[in-house]
């Protein structure tokens, strides 16, 4: 293997690894944004279901689950920021 080929390959590996790290963080931040954006809508869904307690109960349950998902995702992102991975 020539030195030039090895150097080019190593550079490609480093760039690919960086891209994958960036994509991982982008996916997590994008998902957090999507979840936060959807969270406020559940109040409207609950209001729209007025008179249908079972439907309102469903939307309240979904909203609480989403809040838990958001907390977990924020903790995960915070941990990786603290570790310097981000």
The tally of CA atoms less than 13 A away on the side-chain side of residue 62 is 16
pLDDT for res 84: 79
How far apart, in whole angstroms, are the C-alpha atoms of residue 50 and residue 78? Answer: 38
> Mean pLDDT in runs of 10 for the chain (86 residues)?
64 61 79 90 96 98 96 90 78
Q: How much is the pLDDT for 30? A: 86
Indicate the pTM of the whole model.
0.69
Q: 10 Å Cβ neighbour count for 12?
A: 10
pLDDT at 81: 82
Contact assessment for residue 83 and residue 69, using Cβ atoms and an 8 Å cutoff: no
Q: What is the pLDDT of residue 20?
A: 54
Domain tally, the chain: 1
Q: What residues make up the domain containing 9?
A: 3-83
d(Cα 61, Cα 28) in Å, to the nearest integer? 23
**Could you report the per-residue pLDDT of 26-38, keeping only the tens digit for each?**
888 889 889 998 8
């Amino acid at each position: 293997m020539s030195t030039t080929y090895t150097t080019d390959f190593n550079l490609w590996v480093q760039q690919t690894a960086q891209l994958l790290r960036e994509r991982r963080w982008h996916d997590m931040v994008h998902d957090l944004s999507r979840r936060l954006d959807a969270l406020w809508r559940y109040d409207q869904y609950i209001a729209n279901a007025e008179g249908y307690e079972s439907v309102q109960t469903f939307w309240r349950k979904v909203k609480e689950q989403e809040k838990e998902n958001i907390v977990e995702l924020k903790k995960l992102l915070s941990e990786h920021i603290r570790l310097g991975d981000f």
